[in-house]
Amino acid sequence: MVPEHGSRGGEGAARLPSHGMPPGTCDRAAGANRAIRDLEPNDIRQLLSLQEEAYIPELLESPESFRSKMAAYPPGAQGLFQAGTLCAYVFYFPWRSGGYLPLDARSLVLPGVPDCLYIHDLAVSRGCRGLGMAKALLAKVAVTAQQMGIREYMLVAVQQSEEFWENLGFERGREFEYVEGVPATVMFKHGPSFTHASETSDPS
Ligand SMILES: CC(C)(COP(=O)(O)OP(=O)(O)OC[C@H]1O[C@@H](n2cnc3c(N)ncnc32)[C@H](O)[C@@H]1OP(=O)(O)O)[C@@H](O)C(=O)NCCC(=O)NCCS
C-alpha cells in the first residue's frame, strides 16, 4: 500500500467524486444527513483519497488490500457518507487474539473460532473530525460484536492515537514497529460498548 503498490497515481489519486462534496469537506450542521453503509469496490477511489489524507505515507494500504478485506468480511467494511461523499470509514473483522494483521495484507483468512473483533482501520476525513463520526462507526462495530456474542476487541494503535482508544476503554499492550520507523501499540478492550468511562459504568 505504499506508493509502489499502486495506491498513488492510479486509483488512489485524489479525485472529486462524481456527486456530493469535495473530499475533506463536511457539512458540520447537527442535522446534516449522514448514512452508514457497507463499503463496496466502487468506493475504493474515495477510500484511498480519505486514507491518504488521514495517514502518513508509510501506513498507506493498497487497493488490493482494501478489496481483500471487503471480500473476506463484507460487514466489516463500513463507510459513513454525507451527500454521497465518504467522510469516515472503519474496517474490522472477527479475529483470534494473539497476533495482529500485517499492514497491507493482501489476503485475510478469518479464524474458525474467533475470540475478539479486530479493528484494523478507523479514519475520519480532516474536515469531519470532532463530530462523533468515529464513535458512530464504532457503535456499528459494537452491534456486530453483540450479535456474535463477542466481548473482546483488539487493534494496533498508530499515529499517537493511543489516548483516543484509551478514552474508549482500551488498554495498552506491547509496543512495536508496525513498519520500519513507525511506532505502534497493541491495544485490548473487554466489554460490549465504546462508552467513555466517565459517561457510564460498563456492566461487563
Ligand atoms: C482518531 C480519529 C478517527 C478520531 O476521529 P474523530 O472524528 O475526532 O472522533 P469522534 O468525533 O467520534 O470523537 C470521539 C471522541 O474521541 C476524542 N478524540 C478524538 N481524537 C482524539 C485524540 N487524538 N486523542 C484523544 N481523544 C481524541 C473526541 O474528543 C471525542 O471525545 P468525546 O466523546 O468525549 O467528545 C481521527 O482523528 C482520525 O481519523 N485520525 C487519523 C487516522 C488514525 O490515526 N486513526 C487511528 C488509527 S489506530
**pLDDT tens-digit map of 95-143:** 999 899 999 999 999 999 999 999 999 999 999 999 999 999 999 999 9
Which stretch of 21-25, 43-47, 154-158 has the lowest confidence by average pLDDT?
21-25
Report if residue 204 sits inside a domain.
no
Substitution candidate for ligand 1 out of 161, 162, 176, 187 with most atoms within 8 A of CB: 161
Measured from CB, residues less than 6 Å from any atom of ligand 1 are 54-55, 122-124, 129-135, 157-159, 161, 163-164, 167, 196
Task: Name which residue sits closest to atom 26 of ligand 1, judged by CA.
Answer: 164
Residue 84 sits at φ, ψ, to 5 deg, of: 85, -5
Report if residue 197 sits inside a domain.
no
Q: What residues make up the domain containing 140?
A: 3-190
Report if residue 196 sits inside a domain.
no
Task: Name which residue sits closest to atom 25 of ligand 1, judged by CA.
Answer: 164
State residue 192's pLDDT score: 80
Query: Which CATH number fits the domain that encloses residue 159?
Result: 3.40.630.30
Report if residue 63 sits inside a domain.
yes
- How many domains does the chain fold into? 1
Report if residue 52 sits inside a domain.
yes
